[in-house]
Amino acid sequence: MTIGTLYDTAKRYLPELTTREFVLFYNQALEKISYDLNIAEVTEVFTGADVAAMPTLATKILDVIYDGSSLSRVMKR
């Protein structure tokens, strides 16, 4: 869901909602979620056998490099 879609949905249920109010609420919500979840970015190097042993929960692989070629935005859930 994009932020625009989220704003349109919020406007449907709260027609008096202003853009400024939505942005303030959205930023506070993201800050709280980030704080509660302790989001951390970690850079690690894995071999082929290590990939199967990676944690399967809340793992997002942003970049994979194989033989000098980069494959970006690969996700493992």
State the pLDDT at residue 2: 85
pLDDT above 90: residue 3? no
CA distance 77 to 75: 6
Q: How confident is the model at residue 18 (pLDDT cuts 50, 70, 90)?
A: very high
For the full predicted model, state whether its pTM sits above 0.75.
no
Cβ atoms of 37 and 30 within 8 Å: the answer is no
- The CA–CA distances, whole Å, from 4 to 15, 28, 69 equal 15, 17, 34
37-61 pLDDT per residue, tens: 666 666 767 776 776 776 665 566 6
CA distance 62 to 74: 6
- Which of residues 17 and 71 earns the better pLDDT score? 17
